[in-house]
Structure 1
Amino acid sequence: MIRHLFTLIWNRKRSNFLLMAEILLSFFVLFVVSVLLVSNYYNYRQPMGFRSDNVWQFDIDAGQDTVDRRGKLRLLVQELQATPGVVAVTGTSGNTPFSFSTMNTDEYRYKDRKAGYTDRYDADDDMLKVLHQKVVAGRWFDRRDDAAGRRFPVVINQVFARQMFGDEAPVGKVLTNEKRDEEWHVIGVIEAYRSGSDFAPNEGAIFHRKTLNDTSRYVQQEVPLLLVRVQPGSGAVLEQQLVRKIKSVTKGWSANVNTLEENRGDKLKFIMTPLAALGLVGLFLIINVALGLFGVLWYNINQRKAEIGLRRALGATGNGISKQFLGEMLVVTTLGVLGGLALAAQFPLLGAFGLASGIYVQAMALSTVLIFVLTAICALQPSRIAAGILPAVSLREE
């Protein structure tokens, strides 16, 4: 039966070649869309590494005030922490969770290993109380690090630990600076820290200790962002109270307040907009391809009415005719998919987009299933029409 199908396909090789090319194009479109779906789904399932609920971000603007900014900030943090409804306060750099700001560097080295571009964050001793990162080895920053000297304490995530230390225990290791005479002492490891978005990949991250009491690390004029964890259910009343307290303690500084959940939603919209647009374009192309396949099959049936009538006259059943047309389409689809798989296999071999090979394999499998389902649906109705052709009618028309 299969040999017979290949013979029929070869006898109509010109039209079937165009059909295979159309299926190959459809497969490639589905493959690209599947890569995006699988990679984003994989990233989405990774742990965020922190909690953003009930955390408010205060963007503080000191304006033209240059008098003892650090002292005012220390007093402000103390006043905010003493406010009823506030759980904890931390000062950090501008690359807060879900912001559009990043800070990365490739200066870290351990023995003969050099880190790629790694996300760097400034953190103080209270960040753990605000964002609830999960420490899996060692500890977070505390007062013991005040006497660290020139070997600065850092906390890293598990991805960075694997990249730099492999199977070695990361706590206690010393990183050197490839560009300057500087060293960092790893005191702890957290599970993860995906601050970009819900679909951000789980990449290496490193936290540098930077407190308001550390004059060697904080510039006098520098004003950090403040992240404040509040009690669940806190709303506009507490927000206004904190804003007024900021103005009164600092003698006129202003503050812009956002919740991390609001920032998360804004970043999600920003990420999803191009993905949705690309998905719509892919869907439009697939619909057009499906309509083209349906039209080609319909045309083939009209062109082969005499053949169908003769087969029915010689004893072929309607069910057999339907299976023959479906079988031809499945064989043509298989040939087109094999070409598409050969093309798609180049992506993991060339390391395109920097994704894991498993994502491409899953995308290939998903695309293969979808293209066979698509062609089966497109071939179903034409094959039924072919099965319903009566031999007397078709032979009389011919």
Structure 2
Amino acid sequence: MIRHLFTLIWNRKRSNFLLMAEILLSFFVLFVVSVLLVSNYYNYRQPMGFSPDNVWEFDVDPGQDTTDRKATLRLLVQELQATPGVAAVTWTSSNTPFSFSNMNTDQFRYKDKKASLTEQYDADDDMVRVLNQKVVAGRWFDHRDDASTHHPVVINQKFAEDMFGGEAAVGKVLTNDKHDEQWQVVGVIEAYRSGNDFAANEPAIFNRRVLQDTARVGNNEQPILLVRVLPGSGAVLEQQLVRKIKQVTKGWDANVNTLEENRHDKMKFMLTPLIALGLVGLFLIINVALGLFGVLWYNINQRKSEIGLRRALGATSNGISRQFLGEMFVVTTLGVVGGLVLAMQFPLLGVFGFATPIYLTAMLLATILIFLLTAICAFQPSRIAAAIQPAVSLREE
């Protein structure tokens, strides 16, 4: 049976070759789209590394105030921490969770190994309480770091794996290209995907910066505060905190958003290209389906005499239907094999830089979609072929 199908396919090699080329290109495009969609879904399923619930972001703007901003900021943090309904307060750099700001560097080295591009954050001792970060090794910053001879840092597991491999990260000392500055790892957190829900778990490093450290606090920067409030806190507490900020700072402006609001806004921004990508994939699937259906319909009209002769020689309608389905599956298999050969180059060459399981999942998904399309498109034409009566087809000839 298989040999007979290959013979029939070879006898119509020109049209079948074009059909295989269409299936191969369609598979390849579906594979690329699937890689991007699967990678985003894979990232979405990963732990975020922090809890944005009940966290408010206060963007405090001193404006033209030239007074000692460091002292004012220290007093402000103390007042906010003492406010009923506030669980913890931290101040940090502008690249807060779900913001559109980035601070990355590749200056870190360990022995002869240079770190890849790493997102760095400013953090104080209370950030772990505000964001509920999970420390998996070592500890978070505390007063023990006041007398440290190196700059204390906390890293995520991704940074630890990339830089230290299987070695324990806590206690390791990093340096820069000039070897004139050193950082000591005091702790490792699970993850920190602060960009958005679809962001990959990239290397991250946290620099300790406390308000008491006047050498590392600029007097011209714009502070950003993250405040964890008790569950159920609403507009009343928000207005109270804004009034307190204005009272303590003598008129600084303060804009407040919840991290959940920022997360929702970032999600809408990220979903737009993903929806467009999904629509492209859907448009491709529809075009492939129409092409397959048209080719099969044309083949049946061109092969009526063959079908009628086979029916006259005793072939059943089910046998005719299975023949057309079998031919399509063989042609599809040949096209998919060619597409798989091309797709396997992606993980081998590191295209897109994704993990190998993502490519394999995308290959499986594209293969299933192509065969499913073939089965759907070939079903109705094969039924039409099976319904052709030998007397009718032979009389038409």
Same fold (TM over 0.5): yes
Residue 301 of structure 1 is matched in structure 2 by 300
Moved more, 246-255 or 160-169: 160-169
* Counterpart residue type for residue 131 of structure 1: L
Q: Is the 8 A contact 1:107 1:179 kept in 2?
A: no
Alignment of 1:383-398 (within 5 A): 383-398=382-397
- Which secondary structure state, in structure 2, belongs to the residue aligned with residue 299 of structure 1? helix
- Shift in Å, 1:180: 5.2
- Residue 8 of structure 1 pairs with residue 11 of structure 2: no
Residue 122 of structure 1 is matched in structure 2 by 122
Q: Show CA shifts across 1:290-309 (max 9, x none).
A: 11110110111011111101
Residue 136 of structure 2 is matched in structure 1 by 136
Residue 26 of structure 2 is matched in structure 1 by 26
Determine the C-alpha separation between the residues in 2 that align with 1:190 and 1:284.
42
Q: Is the 8 A contact 1:31 1:364 kept in 2?
A: yes
Residue 359 of structure 2 is matched in structure 1 by 360
Determine the C-alpha separation between the residues in 2 that align with 1:87 and 1:265.
23
* Counterpart residue type for residue 227 of structure 1: L
* Counterpart residue type for residue 334 of structure 1: T
- Which secondary structure state, in structure 2, belongs to the residue aligned with residue 249 of structure 1? helix
Residue 275 of structure 2 is matched in structure 1 by 276
Determine the C-alpha separation between the residues in 1 that align with 2:51 and 2:209.
21
Determine the C-alpha separation between the residues in 2 that align with 1:360 and 1:291.
27
Q: Is the 8 A contact 2:61 2:223 kept in 1?
A: no
- Which secondary structure state, in structure 2, belongs to the residue aligned with residue 228 of structure 1? strand
Q: Percent identity among equivalent residues?
A: 80
Alignment of 1:176-195 (within 5 A): 176-179=175-178, 181-195=180-194
Determine the C-alpha separation between the residues in 2 that align with 1:334 and 1:69.
69
Residue 321 of structure 1 is matched in structure 2 by 320
- Residue 54 of structure 1 pairs with residue 42 of structure 2: no
- Shift in Å, 1:3: 0.7
Q: Is the 8 A contact 2:122 2:208 kept in 1?
A: yes
- Residue 90 of structure 1 pairs with residue 90 of structure 2: yes
Q: Is the 8 A contact 2:173 2:185 kept in 1?
A: yes
Q: Is the 8 A contact 1:70 1:221 kept in 2?
A: no
Determine the C-alpha separation between the residues in 2 that align with 1:357 and 1:175.
30
Determine the C-alpha separation between the residues in 2 that align with 1:302 and 1:41.
44
* Counterpart residue type for residue 35 of structure 1: V
- Shift in Å, 1:224: 2.1
Residue 213 of structure 1 is matched in structure 2 by 212
Residue 42 of structure 1 is matched in structure 2 by 42
* Counterpart residue type for residue 283 of structure 1: L
Determine the C-alpha separation between the residues in 2 that align with 1:34 and 1:167.
32
- Residue 332 of structure 1 pairs with residue 331 of structure 2: yes
Determine the C-alpha separation between the residues in 2 that align with 1:357 and 1:193.
22
Determine the C-alpha separation between the residues in 1 that align with 2:344 and 2:55.
44
Determine the C-alpha separation between the residues in 1 that align with 2:153 and 2:323.
68
- Shift in Å, 1:29: 1.8
- Which secondary structure state, in structure 2, belongs to the residue aligned with residue 216 of structure 1? helix
Q: Is the 8 A contact 1:30 1:282 kept in 2?
A: yes
Residue 162 of structure 2 is matched in structure 1 by 163
Gaps of 5+ in 2: none
- Shift in Å, 1:365: 1.3
- Residue 201 of structure 1 pairs with residue 194 of structure 2: no
- Which secondary structure state, in structure 1, belongs to the residue aligned with residue 26 of structure 2? helix
Residue 77 of structure 2 is matched in structure 1 by 77
Q: Show CA shifts across 1:78-126 (max 9, x none).
A: 1111111111000000000111111111111111111011110000000
- Shift in Å, 1:17: 0.9
Residue 103 of structure 1 is matched in structure 2 by 103
- Which secondary structure state, in structure 1, belongs to the residue aligned with residue 215 of structure 2? coil
- Which secondary structure state, in structure 1, belongs to the residue aligned with residue 377 of structure 2? helix
Determine the C-alpha separation between the residues in 2 that align with 1:177 and 1:76.
35
Q: Is the 8 A contact 2:56 2:256 kept in 1?
A: yes
**TM-score if structure 1 supplies the norm length?**
0.98
Q: Show CA shifts across 1:268-312 (max 9, x none).
A: 111110111121022112101111110110111011111101100
Q: Is the 8 A contact 1:24 1:339 kept in 2?
A: yes
Which stretches of structure 1, 4 residues or longer, exceed 6 Å deviation after superposition? none
- Which secondary structure state, in structure 1, belongs to the residue aligned with residue 281 of structure 2? helix
Determine the C-alpha separation between the residues in 2 that align with 1:30 and 1:219.
51
Determine the C-alpha separation between the residues in 2 that align with 1:223 and 1:28.
49
Alignment of 1:212-231 (within 5 A): 212-231=211-230
Determine the C-alpha separation between the residues in 2 that align with 1:180 and 1:248.
45
CA RMSD between the two structures: 0.9
Determine the C-alpha separation between the residues in 2 that align with 1:103 and 1:219.
16
- Which secondary structure state, in structure 1, belongs to the residue aligned with residue 214 of structure 2? coil
- Which secondary structure state, in structure 2, belongs to the residue aligned with residue 119 of structure 1? strand
* Counterpart residue type for residue 223 of structure 1: Q
Moved more, 161-170 or 305-314: 161-170
Alignment of 1:284-295 (within 5 A): 284-295=283-294
- Shift in Å, 1:369: 1.1
* Counterpart residue type for residue 391 of structure 1: P
- Residue 17 of structure 1 pairs with residue 17 of structure 2: yes
Determine the C-alpha separation between the residues in 1 that align with 2:220 and 2:7.
81
Q: Show CA shifts across 1:337-395 (max 9, x none).
A: 11111111121121111111221111111111110011111000000111111111111
* Counterpart residue type for residue 301 of structure 1: I
